């Protein structure tokens, strides 16, 4: 007689004996080991059963065992999670990707937040911030750029102000170019020393030239000043200022003297308002109560309007031509299909001056999208108090 399924003849063929766990007998002739990925916990069975997702057959095929954390199975055998994926508990049918700002731990059993100074845009791995960018927080998908006047710390966890004698348009601080200075930390740009002075060794300030006359000015700046300042020349002309007011910056050769600009006491080297109307004004140097040097500035309507080139460190518009130079006031930029352009400008001294784009108050370094059809002129203006110190024009061309 034939043995029933789930059994087999014993060695003497005198009886049928059941197949043991981990095996099966489909024809009553012999017991076979369960196929890979299947198990059988009972005696005398005609078939093995497949292990479901999240599990695999034990080594002796007598049971289905849950996949360990860090592995998964869609039925059959457990496999380590693919690179960049995790399973955080046993019995996972599939591994999962980590969210942005995190990465899998070494065992692929959990997602860990990226530490400050790093980021993860895809959840696969944390990367160091690019040069000039920082990230002060855990678990971030991107780093952020440092603004002008600062640079990324060595560990890219914070933006640090550029020290005096250096500047940055955004990215990294660089020593001032020869002949220029920055006299405070956080400078977006370095500035040239006035006539009659030169940078100190650290380029953190301007020093009087040795030949300077103690009773004179070492420098005098007024928009459109004619002729160019010379300590021995005491009479100057300027174009008629819009509204009658302009600015002046006078620098004493001898810091112990007292300076008056337009009749008002002023600090040496500071920019101050100067009322001219249609007449004239004086800049005077005093020793105590005695005038020791006087300079006269007279309005000359025949002179062309003076360009205003103070206060702006950078100007960015797509296609701007020529590239921005603080001494250049007129530019062009190509028209765009939307008839708008994004305008980004940064002040040389954000704490002391104010930025206006198309007459709208705008933060230094911020981008303002403005109406700019073909032929339009975009105005960028810098003011200090009521003084207009910088005015730049961008004509939209074909």
The predicted-structure confidence for 118-138, as pLDDT tens digits, reads as follows 999 999 999 999 988 999 999
pLDDT tens, position by position, 72-120: 998 778 999 998 899 999 999 999 999 999 999 999 999 999 999 999 9
Q: What is the pLDDT of residue 234?
A: 93
Q: Distance between CA 134 and CA 142 in Å, rounded?
A: 9
Q: How many CA atoms lie within 13 A of 90 on its CB side?
A: 7
Q: Does the pLDDT at position 252 exceed 80? A: yes
Architecture of domain 312-397: Sandwich (2.60)
Q: Dihedral sign, CA of 363, 366, 371, 376?
A: positive
Q: Looking at the DSSP assignment, which residues form a beta bridge with residue 388?
A: 383
Judged by DSSP in three states, 244 sits in helix
In percent, the amount of the chain with pLDDT more than 70 equals: 98
Quick check: 60 and 82 in contact, CB under 8 A?
Answer: no
108: left (phi over 0), alpha (psi -120 to 50) or beta: left
Q: Distance between CA 142 and CA 247 in Å, rounded?
A: 44
Cα 181 to Cα 175, 203, 270, 394: the distances in Å are 9, 5, 15, 29
Cα 66 to Cα 21, 35, 55, 63, 77: the distances in Å are 19, 18, 4, 10, 10
Judged by DSSP in three states, 118 sits in strand
Q: What is the pTM of this model?
A: 0.45
Q: Does the pLDDT at position 195 exceed 70? A: no
Of 337, 315, 311, 338, nearest in space to 325 by CA: 315
Of 289, 211, 214, nearest in space to 254 by CA: 214
For the chain, the structural domain boundaries read 217-299, 312-397
Which tokens in the block code for residue 202? 């650290």
Q: Distance between CA 383 and CA 10 in Å, rounded?
A: 105
Q: Does the pLDDT at position 325 exceed 90? A: yes
Where do we find the tokens 């692929």? 108
Which pLDDT band, with edges at 50, 70 and 90, does 12 fall under?
confident
Q: Distance between CA 22 and CA 37 in Å, rounded?
A: 11
What does the buried/exposed string (b/e) look like for 314-336 if buried means 16 or more CB atoms within 10 Å of the residue's CB? bbebeebeeebebeebebbbebe
What is the C-alpha R_g of the chain?
A: 40
When the pLDDT of each residue in the chain is averaged and rounded to a whole number, the result is 91
Q: Does the pLDDT at position 213 exceed 90? A: no
Judging by DSSP bridges, how do beta strands 330-334 and 290-299 pair with one another?
A: unpaired
Q: Does the pLDDT at position 210 exceed 70? A: no
């Amino acid at each position: 007689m034939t043995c029933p399924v789930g059994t087999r003849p014993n060695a003497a063929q005198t009886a049928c004996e059941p197949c043991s766990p981990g095996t099966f007998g489909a024809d009553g002739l012999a017991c076979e080991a369960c196929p890979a990925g299947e198990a059988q916990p009972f005696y005398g069975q005609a078939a093995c059963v497949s292990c479901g997702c999240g599990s695999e057959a034990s080594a002796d095929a007598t049971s289905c065992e849950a996949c360990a954390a860090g592995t998964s199975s869609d039925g059959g055998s457990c496999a380590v999670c693919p690179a960049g994926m995790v399973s955080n508990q046993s019995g996972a049918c599939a591994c999962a990707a980590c969210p942005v700002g995190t990465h899998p731990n070494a065992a692929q059993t959990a997602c860990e937040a990226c530490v400050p100074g790093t980021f993860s845009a895809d959840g696969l791995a944390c990367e160091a911030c690019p040069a000039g960018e920082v990230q002060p927080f855990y678990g971030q998908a991107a780093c952020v750029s440092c603004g002008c006047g600062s640079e990324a710390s060595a560990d890219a966890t914070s933006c640090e102000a550029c020290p005096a004698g250096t500047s940055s348009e955004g990215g990294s601080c660089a020593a001032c170019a020869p002949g220029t200075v920055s006299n405070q930390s956080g400078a977006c740009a370095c500035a040239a020393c006035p006539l009659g002075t030169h940078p100190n060794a650290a380029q953190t300030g301007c020093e009087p030239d040795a030949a300077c006359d103690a009773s004179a000015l070492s420098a005098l700046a007024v928009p459109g000043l004619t002729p160019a300042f010379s300590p021995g020349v005491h009479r100057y002309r300027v174009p008629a200022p819009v509204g009658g007011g302009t600015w002046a910056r006078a620098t004493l050769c001898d810091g112990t003297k007292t300076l008056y600009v337009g009749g008002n006491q002023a600090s040496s080297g500071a920019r101050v308002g100067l009322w001219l109307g249609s007449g004239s004004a004086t800049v005077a140097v005093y020793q105590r109560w005695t005038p020791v040097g006087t300079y006269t500035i007279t309005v000359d309507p025949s002179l062309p309007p003076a360009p205003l080139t103070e206060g702006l460190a950078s100007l960015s518009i797509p296609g701007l031509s020529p590239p921005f130079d603080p001494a250049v006031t007129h530019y062009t930029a190509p028209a765009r299909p939307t008839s708008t352009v994004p305008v980004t400008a940064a002040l040389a001294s954000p704490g002391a001056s104010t930025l206006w784009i198309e007459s709208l108050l705008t933060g230094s370094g911020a981008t303002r999208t403005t109406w700019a059809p073909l032929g339009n002129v975009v105005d960028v203006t810098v003011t200090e108090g009521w003084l207009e110190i910088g005015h730049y024009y961008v004509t939209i061309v074909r």
